[in-house]
Amino acid sequence: MAARWHYIAATGLDFGYRHCAVPENWIFTAAELRGEPGEPAAIQRRMSEINSAREESQPLRTRTGGSTFANPDDPRTEGRKAWQLIDAVGGRGLAVGGAKVSEKHCNFLLNTGTATAADLEALGEEARRRVFEKFGVRLQWEIRRIGVPQRGPA
């Protein structure tokens, strides 16, 4: 299939919370970005603040795919984020095989060193099941899962 190129101005992207208005199958291969000049010390201070906040709240430098579920936009959650819903259903520290829900931030699934993809997926599905059972809300995977589930020996 021949590649098709598209050029889009930022105004045409309709950026939102983990969303933009291009088809899901698009792959961005280049971007032209423009920044605003600023005072280097102020920029460095702001970057340090952001890094410190992330360090305090997220399991950095661990084996994780990052944020696992999108925050739901559903009145039944009463404004709670995905991690708060997972915490509310006893998910903090929950484990399947070598996969574990982070005790620092419940929207991160950790590979403790021996997790398989099946362990991580089963753990995520268990968290989703519990949240649905208690709140009636289906958490949406934010991690793009690819591949074919292992079916065992032929």
Residues forming beta bridges with residue 111, ordered by sequence position: 99
- Judge whether 105 lies within some domain: yes
Q: How far apart are CA 93 and CA 131, in angstroms?
A: 15
The CA-atom distances, in angstroms, between 149 and each of 98, 119, 141 are 17, 11, 16
- Judge whether 123 lies within some domain: yes
- Judge whether 28 lies within some domain: no
Q: Which of 4, 18, 34, 151 is catalytic?
A: 18
Which tokens go with 71?
């925050």
Q: How far apart are CA 53 and CA 57, in angstroms?
A: 6
Q: Which of 36, 45, 78, 142 is catalytic?
A: 142
The DSSP string of 58-101 is S-TTSSEEEE-BPPP--GGGTT--HHHHHHHTT-TT-EETTEEE
142 is catalytic: yes
Cα Rg of the chain (Å, integer): 19
* Phi, psi at 110, each rounded to 5°: -105, 145
Strands 108-111 and 64-67: antiparallel
18 is catalytic: yes
Q: How far apart are CA 119 and CA 42, in angstroms?
A: 44
- Judge whether 94 lies within some domain: yes
- Judge whether 66 lies within some domain: yes
Q: Which of 67, 80, 121, 130 is catalytic?
A: 67
Residue 34 predicted with pLDDT over 70: yes
> Coil, strand or helix: which one is 135?
helix
* Per-residue pLDDT tens digits for 96-132: 999 999 999 999 999 999 999 999 999 999 999 999 9
What pLDDT shows up at residue 2? 64
48 is catalytic: no
Q: Answer whether 52's CB lies under 8 Å from 92's CB.
A: no
Stated pTM of the model: 0.71
- Judge whether 30 lies within some domain: no
The number of domains in the chain is 1
* Per-residue pLDDT tens digits for 57-90: 777 777 888 889 999 988 888 889 999 999 999 9
- Judge whether 24 lies within some domain: no
- Judge whether 149 lies within some domain: no
What is the CATH classification number for the domain harbouring 86?
A: 3.90.78.10
